[in-house]
Amino acid sequence: MNTTRIAIFIDGGYFDITNRDECGGGKIDYAKLAIKLAGGIEILRTYYYNCLPYQQSTPTEEEAKRFSQAQKFHAALRSLSRFEVREGMLVYRGNNEKGKPIYVQKGIDIQIGVDLVLLSAKQQISHAVVIAGDSDLIPALTVAKNEGVLIHLYHGSAPHRKLVEVADERTRITSEFLADVLYTGS
């Protein structure tokens, strides 16, 4: 491939937690974020992966409201140029010792991995930005690197050590990094 092109892969659940817990939780302008992450390289597409909030079969008013807000957010992302939203499932796994519900994402890492490997193998991209921290992505990053794709990992304070090692470049997500991509509209 002679074209320099980038794809951006955002694990939305991971990014939300990193933003909330480490960066103040500001509202992100995802169009600005994609441009910043691309660093001047032509963007093939930005992929955003997340689960809609859990709902019981008969949702509470609060569950229905959260679900509707998430659907609207995903629709807004889909309306952005060169954005693709992929949804996994949120599975209820019981309660912890304090009685708080435990939810687990299903299908997110595999979707990121499949998209990254497919675009790399088909030589559609020369660069990939990955916002994630999960070791499940190590095989996909390794395959992409073997296909000649430069991997830039953006991560929070405690990514999996081997994920950091396999990336070509690494940047920690901080409030300073996100300052110029905060949403300023209404």
Structure-token pair, residue 79: 């309306």
Q: What digits encode the pLDDT tens for the residues 109-140?
A: 999 999 999 999 999 999 999 999 999 999 99
**Residue keyed to tokens 């951006």:** 8
Compute the average pLDDT of residues 138-163.
97
Residue 93 Cα to chain centre, angstroms: 23
137 in Cβ contact with 113 (< 8 Å): yes
Percent of the chain with pLDDT over 90: 87
Compute the average pLDDT of residues 74-82.
98
Average pLDDT for the chain: 95
3-class SS of residue 49: strand
| pLDDT of the residue at 176 | 96
Question: For 96, how many CA atoms within 13 A lie in the half-sphere containing its CB?
Answer: 6
| pLDDT of the residue at 2 | 62
Compute the average pLDDT of residues 49-75.
93
Q: What is the dihedral of CA 4, 45, 125, 152, to 10 degrees?
A: 90
Q: Nearest 5°: CA angle at 46, between 10 and 68?
A: 70
Residue 185 predicted with pLDDT over 80: no
State whether CATH 3.90.78.10 applies to domain 5-181.
no
Q: Could you tell me the pTM of the whole model? A: 0.94
Q: How far apart are CA 77 and CA 69, in angstroms?
A: 12
Q: What digits encode the pLDDT tens for the residues 29-44?
A: 999 999 999 999 999 9
Residue 186 predicted with pLDDT over 70: no
- The band of 164, judged by pLDDT with boundaries at 50, 70 and 90, is very high
Compute the average pLDDT of residues 141-162.
97
Nearest to residue 142, comparing CAs of 131, 133, 151, 134?
151
